[in-house]
Amino acid sequence: MADSTFTFIDLFCGIGGFRIGLEALGGTCVFSCDSNKLCREIYKKNFHDAPKGDIRNVDITGIPDFDILTAGFPCQPFTKLGGQTGFSHKRGSIFEYIIEIAKAKRPKVLFLENVPSLLNTNKGECFKRVKEAIMAIGYSVHFEVINGKYLLPQNRNRLYIVCFQPGIIGASFEFPILPELKRSVRDIMMAHEEIADDYQFLIPTENQVQRRVDFRKQAGKKDGVTLNIDVPSPAIVSSYRKERTQKFVPCERNELGVRYLHYREVARLQGIPEDFQFFCKFAKRPDMFYKCLGNCVMPPVIAAIGCHILKELGLEMNLEKPVMSLLVKATSKKDAAKLHFERN
């Protein structure tokens, strides 16, 4: 990690996707919070830093000064799975706490992430309210939908919002154009020997397979329930193990011929480093980690956008080096060697 050049806070921190990405650029996290107990424990184990709990209970005066506010604020109010109820959803109003913290602390930058459907929820009214709330406290607003599939083997579109305080140039800010690495699910899959200890948790029941078959048939889909592992995966959602639209990977070791992705494979799809630890006292079964992973941001994408933010703050940084370092750390040794070879 580079010498510390800026500070940030990690709101709705989850397991720390923003933190991994920004620490790779030399940032120092001075505050974090999340309402999920399991996420907080995993975060503490990996960063040796205990996040505060629910943002609604945070004493803003106790937050240290910082340069960048990051927040992957709750997306459920704006997703199809969440009914796209927007700010009328019980978690929709949580965004207001971001505004209150920004008003009180006046960071140079707000760096936010959400699902692309935020742009269209309630005919665009929700995103209009988000923009107006940010602009009302004096920040400029830049936003773009970026697909992580160019860096990682997952077709994951996400909305990124970058806002600059008055006095920060910001007007010249542009989101990065990500290099297309053309990676596939096959690149990150683990050998059976690597997943043997957890294999019993990866085998679906016949009923679970049939439910997915029936769901896809009713939806008029003809592509089956098994992933094509030679292309990027669909977006991994927090309900991966339960969601009927998610697919299995091929497996020759059971009669059904399929299995769930191992949580470490999902971590690789998200760009989470191999040395990131998922065990904690509240998670006795490895299939408890999928929700945390499905809600996580992609650290390499965060780092790429972060490089462009830092440029606006007068901190020049080469995009390729930190991003490639994160990619290499978040996959198998074989795939890491391939990434090195292809970029050299």
**Strand, helix or coil at 303?**
helix
Are 5 and 64 within 8 A, CB to CB? Answer: no
Are 92 and 50 within 8 A, CB to CB? Answer: no
Query: What's the distance, CA 187 to chain centroid?
Result: 20
Q: Is residue 75 annotated as a catalytic residue, yes or no?
A: yes
Contacts 24+ apart (CB under 8 A), 274-277: 274/329, 274/330, 274/331, 274/332, 275/329, 276/15, 276/20, 276/46, 277/42, 277/45, 277/46
What is the rounded distance in angstroms from the CA atom of residue 112 to the CA atom of residue 160? Answer: 6
DSSP 271: T
Region of 138 on the Ramachandran plot (φ > 0 left; ψ -120 to 50 alpha; else beta): left
Residue of 13, 29, 39, 75 marked active site: 75
What is the rounded distance in angstroms from the CA atom of residue 258 to the CA atom of residue 248? Answer: 6
DSSP 109: E
Alpha helices in 175-253 (DSSP H): 185-188, 192-195, 206-218
Catalytic residues: 75
